Amino acid sequence: MKRMRALAAVAFDLDDTLYPERDFVRSGYRAVAEWAETHLGLAAPIVQAELDALFAAGLRREVFNLWLEERGLDPARWVETMVAVYREHSPRISMFADAAALLEVLESHGVRRGVITEGYRAVQESKLRALGLAEAFEVVVIGGEEVRERWKPSRAPFEEWLSRMKVHAQESCYIGDDPAKDFRGAREVGMRTMRVRRAEGLHAQEEPPTPGDEPEVEVLDLDEAAHILLPGAA
Ligand SMILES: [Mg+2]
């Protein structure tokens, strides 16, 4: 991809590519901690610190269950509510500065832009709104909770994005951060692939599980991406 001719469009992953996913998690825990203060009579800052510590220890899906158990509370009674508070909170997140800069430089060079992401649909939509990106992209493909079989690494979301964009795979690039799911489907449909491996990213230490999952190129941040995508322009 040293000289990629006729770059027409770029599709971005959302979490940890355009904004720090850790900030979403922290903002969700803060909402849950405030809920716990109101409904369980616990001090919100302490609850937030406890949830943060579990996340920092590498726990993900089990955080609320474990926290409830450690607090002597019944997970069966509370966990669903906590998950709902987490998912429905208004996230306090903002874009990586280099992501905002890359979107601008792509726009100024007439490169079309989109997003391919997945997760709970309402959550992904609320993240885009919080980032001020609700209207920023031509085509946003969100694989919601009802279509898990179409989530990356499936090629389905990439095919959908290309077809809605009416753009050729070979003149498009997908930029993501997760080697376990971001690149295989994109490669299979013929898109260029770029991994942004930020030092603080949640997947920074992970390697592609198979050769088919390897990105074509890897960058440390999106400033470097701009130089590769638009040589001489950024
Ligand atoms: Mg990601």
CATH number at residue 126: 3.40.50.1000
What is the rounded distance in angstroms from the CA atom of residue 201 to the CA atom of residue 19?
A: 10
Distance 175 CA to ligand 1 centre (A): 9
Distance 43 CA to ligand 1 centre (A): 32
In-domain check, residue 203: yes
Is the same domain home to 145 and 215? yes
Distance 70 CA to ligand 1 centre (A): 30
Is the same domain home to 217 and 182? yes
- Sign of dihedral through CA atoms 195, 200, 205, 209? negative
Distance 14 CA to ligand 1 centre (A): 6
Is the same domain home to 55 and 13? no
In-domain check, residue 134: yes
Residues of the chain with pLDDT under 50: 2-3
Distance 108 CA to ligand 1 centre (A): 25
In-domain check, residue 4: no
pLDDT of residue 6: 81
- The neighbourhood of ligand 1, an ion, using CB within 5 A, equals 13, 15-16, 177-178
Domain hosting 147: range is 9-20+94-229
Is the same domain home to 120 and 173? yes
Is the same domain home to 79 and 142? no
What is the rounded distance in angstroms from the CA atom of residue 161 to the CA atom of residue 24?
A: 25
Domain count, the chain: 2
Is the same domain home to 171 and 205? yes
pLDDT of residue 232: 73
Is the same domain home to 137 and 83? no
Distance 170 CA to ligand 1 centre (A): 22
Is the same domain home to 14 and 119? yes
Distance 156 CA to ligand 1 centre (A): 17
